[in-house]
Amino acid sequence: MTEKADYKYRLKDELNKKGRFAPGHRLCAGCGAGVAVNAVLRALEEEDRAVVSNATSCLEVSTFIYPDTAYEDSYIHSAFENAAAMTGGVETAYRVLKKRGKIDENFKFICFGGDGGTYDIGLQSLSGAMERGHDMVYVCYDNEAYMNTGIQRSSATPRFADATTTPVGSESYGKKQNKKDLTAIVAAHGVPYAAQTTMLGNFRDIHEKARRAIYTEGPCFLNVLAPCPRGWRYEMEDLAEICQLAVDTCVWPLYEVVDGEWRLTYEPRNKRPVSDFLERQGRFAHMFRPGNEWMIEEAQQYVDEKWEKLLARCK
């Protein structure tokens, strides 16, 4: 890692930094994507510059209207399927120009994509960039569906969720498949750093993981749970609580994989039932109707099994 060895996180110091993600964008109130982007970019050292790239997504259409963006750093909009490949190409060009003495400044390369452009459409591009070893950070803001185009299911959508392409009705109970474990898939590429995080409390977890990813040489990956008030159907002021419930129920465990070593970064003192997380969202309302108790039981069983496997990996 190239970051300062004596660095210590202080919320006040980070908030006093000049923001790199400007207000006035068009993201929905209560959206987790903007909070995630702001937190990640605050992890940059003030003297470092960044090239931010963005796959087509809610984030892109809400923060970029040519020729203006919400980013203080250089910004590139890519297609849905090639954000990681494009970022890797720019990073390669930078290394060549720096070697030739044509660039003096230090640049970091950060790519943002939603779960549709990461878990699904852009998976081949992400896998290739991770395998080739580009010095970049790919950040997935995971809102668990294709929210920008109408809340269609993705492979990040949890089982039983009500989406427009997995509607709840007399012949359907929502999505039939469990969520893809993308963080584990990326970690299996042998990257130096991969982690899961979300927006909690004083933002320490997301900040420290973002900083580690940015200042670790090589391809790094952050998977950030970023709830969507429209798709998940919660009140906008409940964003932080929804994230906390996801973590405390172990639906979205917080961990990191450093050079192949799995480390748990948060363990709930009292693991809460999955129903506490599900009942706060309209997309799971049908699970609480009489006769559908089996859905909650199976969701709990799935989370428990995944949690025990994670604990074993983290030893």
Domains: count for the chain: 1
Over the Cα atoms of the chain, what is R_g? 19
3-state secondary structure of 124: helix
Residue 1 lies in a domain: no
Residue 6 lies in a domain: no
Residue 4 lies in a domain: no
Residue 2 lies in a domain: no
Range of the domain at 125: 11-314
Residue 300 lies in a domain: yes
Written as six digits, the tokens of 184 are: 């584990």
Over range 122-138, report the average pLDDT: 98
Residue 3 lies in a domain: no
Question: Residue 195 contacts by C-beta under 8 Å, 6 or more apart in sequence?
Answer: 183, 209, 212, 213, 221, 222, 223, 255, 256, 257, 265
| pLDDT tens per residue across span 182-240 | 999 999 999 999 999 999 877 999 999 999 999 999 999 999 999 999 999 999 999 99
User: Cα separation of 112 and 35, whole Å?
Assistant: 13
What CATH number is given to the structural domain containing 101? 3.40.50.970
User: Cα separation of 154 and 263, whole Å?
Assistant: 28
3: pLDDT confidence band, cut at 50, 70 and 90? low
Residue 5 lies in a domain: no
User: Cα separation of 207 and 177, whole Å?
Assistant: 32
**Whether the predicted pLDDT of 36 surpasses 60:** yes
- The 10 Å Cβ neighbour count of residue 192 is 18
| pLDDT tens per residue across span 37-73 | 999 999 999 999 999 999 999 999 999 999 999 999 9
CB 120 within 8 A of CB 185: no
Residue 143 lies in a domain: yes
